[in-house]
């Protein structure tokens, strides 16, 4: 059968430029794929006759010349909704037959041109192709590791490295050009087996077909911040000493600095500078005047001092409640039941309800369940880690007893899972049991006062965050307080248009969720969904569920939200009764025997309150057990 090279049938095809010593008839290479140039809906055929990069192959189509440039190019692999993106220098031999590449042209530079391996492009078998999630793993929240924001709309970046040439993971990412240069000593966490990590100095040979999260070292981030702080302190000290000694102004310091720089370059200290000192001085004065005017408008009179004192007072209340040693000791003990949940797509937090049952958020599994039911997709592996308080040390992990989410409620956003009765310890290999549950500690939502969260933000080690409850009437003020520094700036426009903020009015006064949950501020945002929320008496009253974000780049939020555990428990009990789970219901009753709040839900008919019956809308906080 005669091979169609596309030179006659496709008007877009050009003759591919032949590189030196290349063999156009190399066995197994001739293949075809298509390219789309949105908004044009057509797919243009590319018949690849010689090994090269994807960009070289695409350049054979005249359509590419119309508006695309190499440095601003983003290439989507396949038609599946923004799942994989490849680099422009990706080997064309690694592109599957008849796959479609979708091109987009960004305003910013998307890749840093790197010195590539000068060896000719090899066959697919000679490469290790692996994927790195654009949402990073441990310690990536404070440091972006991808150069261009354009790639954050994809789930994975496909990375390629030659086998048998001692190319390390670090080499592959540096040559890729889409990752920043100063990643430091990073690791790759295997999505299918998160317990396994690959160091950046390991060869890429055995990574083919695998998917990873990129994790940074926390110690390295702290070290870099420390260096910055030291540099700032040194500069301030130098300025302060100079001003105290010589009693000079800002203008004098600028002039002295310019004279010193000129002398170091062999110029006269008196003249020859291209810098207009008077202009700099005028600009400084203008900035200071504008700053003073802005501060006076924002904080008229002594309002700034009042606001500062109020913040100090709030902080003092929190510190007073959670600084007692006995309370901290009790929280740490209860925190043993908190676990890190790792799915192929997300990480989150959960805690033991009772026996081997775990309570967490339902949204952690939205990409893992089959459509129309709560059964996990075949091949889905979920790990539950306890005692994960220090990286890769002493934790133990469990897997699910079956592939089904036992009980779930999408609006309350809760899910109950059953674990295997015995788990494995990371080091050494010994059996461990599930920690005790927190069901017997359930209590009602407090309307105000202190709160404390225990969870695994960013999928990292277990952390504890004392905070205070934001009352319903103060929620709007708390939200506005976050945006106060950005008033009258473009940031506010971004905040309003940000889809993450749609629906925030539902928790404000008059909103449909205003009375149904508890709000607070916490640093524990992404990855801590499913964390238990404790009150000042160490009763657990809430399931940390969500936050209303305003900055997608830094994952910041203006207010966070917890679902009431008593409401979740009521729904769970009703489902047990509907399904006829008498044995499990009896076990729940045994756990709740000393908790009056749970007993009211389990036996509502046995607790009669005439006032409540006559006036069902009244607020009855009396314990009638």
Domain final residue, candidates 216, 233, 268:
216
Half-sphere exposure of 138 (CA within 13 A, CB side): 27
Tokens 């391996």 locate to: 117
Residue 24, domain member (yes or no): no
Residue 21, domain member (yes or no): no
How would you write 283-307 as a 3-class SS string?
HHHHHHHHHHHHHHHHCCCCHHHHH
160 and 90 Cβ atoms separated by less than 8 Å: yes
Are both 299 and 343 inside the same structural domain?
no
Rounded Cα–Cα distance for residues 241 and 264 (Å): 22
Are both 535 and 555 inside the same structural domain?
yes
Domain final residue, candidates 526, 544, 566:
566
Are both 479 and 360 inside the same structural domain?
yes
Number of compact structural domains in the chain: 3
161 and 240 Cβ atoms separated by less than 8 Å: no
Residue 240, domain member (yes or no): yes
Are both 399 and 541 inside the same structural domain?
yes
Quick one: pLDDT at residue 230?
64
Quick one: pLDDT at residue 334?
94
Percent of the chain surpassing pLDDT 70: 67
Boundaries of domain holding 81 = 31-216
Q: What is the CATH number of the domain that holds 59?
A: 3.10.20.90
Q: Which pair of tokens denotes residue 30? A: 């001739």
Quick one: pLDDT at residue 532?
96
Signed CA dihedral, 73, 78, 81, 86: sign only: negative
Output 162 or 366, whichever has higher pLDDT: 162
Q: Which pair of tokens denotes residue 428? A: 């050494």
Residue 284, domain member (yes or no): yes
Are both 292 and 333 inside the same structural domain?
no
17 and 51 Cβ atoms separated by less than 8 Å: no
Are both 251 and 336 inside the same structural domain?
no
Q: How confident is the model at residue 508 (pLDDT cuts 50, 70, 90)?
A: confident
Q: How confident is the model at residue 181 (pLDDT cuts 50, 70, 90)?
A: confident
pLDDT in tens, 206-232: 999 999 999 988 754 444 555 655 655
| Mean pLDDT score, 325-339 | 89
Residue 553, domain member (yes or no): yes
∠ CA 391-397-401, nearest 5°, is 155
Signed CA dihedral, 336, 337, 338, 343: sign only: positive
Are both 196 and 226 inside the same structural domain?
no
Q: Is the pTM of this model over 0.85?
A: no
Half-sphere exposure of 136 (CA within 13 A, CB side): 21
Tokens 């390295």 locate to: 220
The strand pairing partners of 433, in sequence order, are 422
pLDDT in tens, 230-258: 655 665 565 555 555 555 555 565 566 55
Here the contacts of 37-45 (C-beta below 8 Å, separation 24 or greater) are 37/63, 37/64, 37/66, 37/68, 37/103, 38/102, 38/103, 38/104, 43/100, 44/10, 44/12, 45/6, 45/9, 45/10, 45/12, 45/13
| Mean pLDDT score, 498-522 | 76
Taking 70 as the threshold, does the pLDDT of residue 146 lie above it?
yes
Q: 73-87, 103-117, 275-289, 379-393: which has the minimum mean pLDDT? A: 275-289
| Mean pLDDT score, 187-198 | 90
Are both 371 and 429 inside the same structural domain?
yes
Give the start-end residues of each E strand in 379-419: 383-386, 396-399, 407-409, 414-418
Residue 590, domain member (yes or no): no
Output 441 or 108, whichever has higher pLDDT: 441
Residue 362, domain member (yes or no): yes
Residue 592, domain member (yes or no): no
Are both 181 and 226 inside the same structural domain?
no
Supply the mean pLDDT for the chain.
76
| Mean pLDDT score, 270-299 | 54
Strand bridging mode 43-48 / 84-86: unpaired
Quick one: pLDDT at residue 97?
87
Taking 80 as the threshold, does the pLDDT of residue 598 lie above it?
yes
| Mean pLDDT score, 458-487 | 80
| Mean pLDDT score, 26-37 | 73
Are both 117 and 183 inside the same structural domain?
yes
Domain final residue, candidates 512, 538, 566:
566
CA nearest neighbour of 129 among 194, 185, 208, 202: 208
Taking 70 as the threshold, does the pLDDT of residue 144 lie above it?
yes
Quick one: pLDDT at residue 252?
60
Q: Other C-beta atoms within 10 Å of 332: how many?
A: 13
Quick one: pLDDT at residue 552?
46
214 and 145 Cβ atoms separated by less than 8 Å: yes
Quick one: pLDDT at residue 169?
95
Q: What is the CATH number of the domain that holds 354?
A: 2.40.10.120
Q: How confident is the model at residue 615 (pLDDT cuts 50, 70, 90)?
A: very low
Taking 70 as the threshold, does the pLDDT of residue 366 lie above it?
yes
Are both 206 and 267 inside the same structural domain?
no
For residue 319, the 8-state DSSP code is H
Rounded Cα–Cα distance for residues 155 and 135 (Å): 7
Are both 263 and 367 inside the same structural domain?
no
């Amino acid at each position: 059968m005669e091979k169609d090279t596309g030179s006659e049938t496709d008007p877009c095809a050009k003759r591919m430029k032949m590189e030196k010593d290349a063999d156009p008839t190399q066995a197994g290479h001739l293949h075809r794929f298509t390219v789309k140039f949105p908004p044009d809906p057509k797919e243009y055929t590319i018949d690849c006759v010689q090994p090269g990069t994807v960009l070289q192959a695409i350049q054979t189509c005249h359509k590419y010349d119309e508006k695309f440039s190499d440095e601003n190019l983003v290439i989507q692999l396949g038609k599946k909704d923004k799942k994989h993106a490849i680099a422009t220098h990706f080997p064309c031999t690694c592109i599957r037959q008849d796959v479609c590449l979708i091109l987009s042209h960004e305003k910013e530079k998307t890749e840093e041109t790197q010195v590539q391996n000068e060896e000719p492009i090899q066959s697919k078998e000679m490469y290790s192709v692996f994927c790195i999630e654009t949402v990073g793993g441990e310690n990536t929240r404070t440091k972006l590791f991808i150069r261009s924001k354009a790639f954050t709309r994809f789930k994975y970046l496909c990375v390629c490295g030659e086998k048998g040439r001692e190319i390390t993971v670090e080499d592959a990412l540096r040559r890729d050009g889409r990752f920043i240069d100063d990643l430091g000593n990073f690791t790759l966490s295997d999505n299918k087996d998160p317990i396994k990590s690959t160091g950046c100095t390991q060869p890429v040979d055995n990574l083919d077909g695998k998917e990873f999260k990129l994790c940074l070292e926390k110690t390295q981030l702290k070290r870099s911040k420390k260096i910055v702080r030291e540099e700032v302190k040194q500069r301030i000290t130098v300025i302060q000493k100079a001003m105290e000694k010589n009693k000079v102004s800002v203008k004098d310091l600028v002039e002295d600095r310019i004279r010193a720089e000129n002398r170091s370059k062999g110029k006269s200290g008196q003249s020859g500078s291209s810098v207009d000192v008077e202009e700099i001085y005028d600009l400084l004065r203008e900035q200071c005047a504008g700053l003073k005017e802005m501060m006076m408008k924002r904080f008229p009179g002594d309002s700034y001092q009042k606001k500062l004192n109020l913040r100090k007072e709030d902080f003092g209340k929190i510190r007073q409640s959670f600084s007692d040693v006995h309370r901290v000791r009790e929280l740490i003990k209860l925190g043993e039941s908190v676990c890190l949940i790792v799915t192929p797509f997300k990480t989150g937090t959960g805690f033991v309800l009772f026996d081997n049952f775990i309570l967490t958020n339902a949204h952690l599994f939205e990409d893992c369940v089959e459509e129309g039911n709560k059964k996990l997709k075949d091949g889905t592996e979920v790990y539950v880690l306890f005692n994960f308080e220090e990286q890769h040390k002493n934790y133990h992990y469990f897997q699910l007893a079956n592939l089904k989410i036992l009980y779930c409620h999408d609006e309350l956003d809760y899910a109950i899972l059953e674990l295997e009765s015995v788990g494995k310890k990371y080091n050494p290999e010994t059996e461990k049991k599930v920690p005790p549950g927190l069901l017997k500690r359930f209590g009602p939502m407090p309307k105000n006062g202190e709160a404390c969260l225990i969870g695994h933000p960013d999928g990292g080690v277990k952390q504890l965050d004392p905070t205070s409850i934001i009352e319903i009437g103060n929620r709007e003020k708390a939200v506005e307080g976050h945006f106060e520094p950005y008033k009258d700036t473009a940031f506010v426009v971004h905040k309003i248009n940000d889809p993450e903020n749609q629906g925030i009015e539902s928790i404000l006064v008059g909103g449909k969720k205003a009375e149904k949950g508890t709000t607070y501020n916490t640093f524990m945002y992404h990855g801590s969904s499913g964390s238990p929320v404790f009150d000042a008496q160490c009763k657990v009253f809430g399931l940390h569920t969500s936050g209303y974000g305003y900055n997608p780049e830094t994952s910041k939020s203006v207010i966070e939200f917890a679902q009431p555990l008593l409401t979740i428990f009521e729904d769970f009990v009703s489902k047990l009764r509907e399904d006829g789970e008498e044995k499990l219901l009896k076990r729940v009753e045994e756990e709740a025997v000393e908790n009056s709040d749970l007993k009211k839900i389990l036996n509502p008919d046995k607790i009669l309150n005439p006032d409540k019956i006559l006036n069902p809308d009244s607020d009855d906080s009396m314990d009638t057990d």
